[in-house]
A = this chain, B = another copy of it.
Amino acid sequence: MSELMTRAGALDAADELAGVRKQFVLDEVVYLDGNSLGALPANVPGHVEDVVRRQWGELRIRSWDESGWWTAPERIGDRIAPLVGAAPGQIVVGDSTSVNVFKALVAAVRMADSAGAAGSAGSAGSAGAVGSAGVAGSAGSGRDEILVDATTFPTDGYIAESAARMTGRTLRPVTPTEVPGALSDRTAAVLLNHVDYRTGRLHDLPSLTAAVHAAGAVAVWDLCHSAGALPVGLDEHGVDLAVGCTYKYLNGGPGSPAYLYVRRDLQDRFDSPLPGWNSHAEPFGMRPAFEPAAGALRGRVGTPDILSMLALEAALEVWDGVRIEAVRAKSLALTDFFLECVAAYVPEGRVELVTPVAHSERGSQVALRCDDAGDVMKRLIERGVVGDFRHPDVLRFGFTPLYVGFADVERAARVLGEVLR
């Protein structure tokens, strides 16, 4: 047994989260793609069966009340809240990440129009009301620009382009490091990723949010690659709006609904571009005029997708008793150990590290540039190590602290070395 294998064993033995793994359905495969689709929590199948057979099949329409279907979006939002550092009542679950980016960014532009700086006017929400601000083509505030992370997962960029077009703003793509220099009194809103989907780089949410606020603009964060992997601190850092998916580190299942965070003091000014009947103050009043609900419910749109939503609710039970700080500590230990094993096993010069070495700049994945990455990933998968390939030349390995152990890490790096030799 190699020294690294021995080390892996010792690290696993000392891992306070090691026991969580048994709450997932796993096999002999080293699954390093939980940053794309989280593994199945073992309690989900039974819960889904109950939702289908009893709640739908037997109670049918009564389940909207009796099984708590109607209130699921905000109830499950409250379950996600502690994982991203949010007090209750600020998150609703529903729709895809793309749709939530649209809601958040359009609402952010309207906030910037309606009352100047969001960050510097923390109490404006109590007096503010949804008005006619943000009408197509107007930029009464003079804030005619939206900044977007130029390195973003593409959907955020496409949706931001649409949000800009539909609010009469100009979209300006800049890298996150360029944001402070690009901010001005023309900036309405800024859409940023907490962790870069490709490189795994962790961006500095507290300081970037503060810079956005100092410029009087509204900060929108995409948490897809950070929520469930590291502390986010939405409330602590005064983030205005945030979105995220639930099928990566939150293990909600394929295409499970996304979520939207609206900071409490901004909720009265959250003016949604998708004011569906679920966001009405009195949804069953069937009133022709729209009157927005109070609070986070304002972020709801249409009828919630119950099967997927309740599968997510069950999946979130694995977090009971898990501290996100412990998850972060293990995540960094896993990626550190992976880098060490890669250095030991992979021939010099065969891969190039894309992910930052500094802990403060690293999420929970490691990306390696590699000439024939697509082919290499195929061979890894054939040998039981599942990561993924991102065009054109990146191998991505995601480390989910709830179910990936150090022996997995050592094996993954060893197999990678064999494949590349």
Residues of A within 8 A of B (CB): 25, 27, 31, 33, 36-37, 39-40, 44-45, 48-49, 52-53, 55-58, 60-61, 63-64, 69, 95-99, 102, 106, 135-138, 150, 153-155, 157-159, 161-162, 165-168, 173, 198, 245, 247, 253-258, 272-278, 280, 284-288, 290, 301-309, 311, 386, 388, 390-391
Contacts and interface: CB of A to CB of B under 8 A. Distances in A.
A137 to B, nearest CB: 3
Given A99-B302, A166-B166, 9 more contacts: A37-B60, A40-B60, A61-B386, A95-B302, A96-B303, A136-B167, A157-B290, A245-B303, A255-B306
A294 B290 CA distance: 35
Contact of A253 (B39, B52, B64, B137): B52
A37 B324 CA distance: 39
A253 B95 contact: no
A166 B307 contact: no
Nearest to A27: B58
Contacts of A69: 254-255
Given A154-B288, A302-B96, A309-B255, A49 B45 contact: yes
Contacts of A273: 102, 162, 166
A155 B276 contact: yes
A208 B64 CA distance: 35
Contacts of A153: 277, 286
A187 B311 CA distance: 44
Given A96-B95, A253-B306, A253-B307, A40 B61 contact: no
Contacts of A301: 96, 98-99
Contacts of A276: 96, 98-99, 155, 158-159
A160 to B, nearest CB: 10
Contact of A52 (B40, B58, B158, B302): B40
Contact of A286 (B98, B284, B390): B390
22 contacts: A25-B53, A25-B58, A37-B64, A69-B254, A96-B276, A98-B302, A99-B274, A136-B165, A137-B168, A154-B280, A154-B286, A154-B287, A154-B290, A155-B278, A157-B290, A158-B290, A162-B274, A166-B273, A198-B286, A255-B306, A285-B391, A306-B308
B57 A52 contact: no
Among the interface residues A45, A102, A166, which one has the most CB atoms of the partner chain B within 10 A? A166
Contacts of A258: 302
A36 B61 contact: yes
A27 B58 CA distance: 8
A303 B154 CA distance: 13
Given A25-B57, A95-B99, A98-B301, A166 B136 contact: yes
